[in-house]
Amino acid sequence: MLSLIPKQAPLVFMSLFFIGLVAGFSTDMLFSKKMDKLVACNHEFDLHEEESCHCFPWGELKEQWRHCSSSRGILCLSLSLFLFKIITEELGPSIWNWIRVTLVIVSSTALFIVSTVPDHFLEEHLWKHVVRNHVPRVFLWTFGTLLLMHLLLNHLQLEVWLQKKQFIVLLVACLVGLIPESGPHT
């Protein structure tokens, strides 16, 4: 929409935003009591009680690095190598643009977090949850999508058909977006 109708697209986005707000508020007002009885809170979060949270244990940083866990070592080494390759222009775009700057900022932030968080957060939340659960899922979805697009565009020559049938492509994209729990975010 931004490339086909750039002047109308922001108006469409804002209209859809307000329609979504009104529809969500109305749905909550009309059905919240009925839904609370029907749906039990069944989430996958591991909740546990902790006496206190020391997000940046400055006094313990030296000790954490003296007895460095394998999770901290692997994550820090991987992030450091990734950041080094981005800065030396071995990875990413060939010029310094917003993509390269964003990669450097995000990688630096991730390296800072991995370097400073307590072992509990690193082991339980970052390593066991994010790295083991989400990274493989996002990688497989991204790889599968890129492979499928490569096969469709290079071997079936769908480019001309896609350019001629843009409304059908938009309709299919909207229908795929309606599928519950589709994509790597599940």
Cα separation values, 4 from 9, 31, 83, 134, Å:
9, 38, 36, 34
Instruction: Tell me how far apart the alpha carbons of residues 143 and 4 are, in angstroms, rounded to a whole number.
Output: 28
CA 29 to chain centre: 31
Q: pTM above 0.85?
A: no
The per-residue pLDDT for 1 is 78
Q: Which residues of the chain have pLDDT under 50?
A: 186
Give me the DSSP letters along 39-98.
------------S---SS-GGGHHHHHHT--HHHHHHHHHHHHHHHHHHTTSSS-SS-SH
Identify the pLDDT of residue 181.
62
Q: With CA atoms as reference, report the closest residue to 82 among 74, 36, 97.
A: 74
**Residue that has been written with the tokens 């059905």 in this structure:** 31
Rounded Cα distance, 48 and 69, in Å = 22
| Model pLDDT, residue 53 | 55
Q: How far apart are the first and last CA of the chain?
A: 26
Residue spans per domain, the chain? 1-42, 61-116, 119-186
The reported pLDDT for the residue numbered 50 is 58
Taking phi over 0 as left and psi of -120 to 50 as alpha, with beta for the rest, 40 belongs to: beta
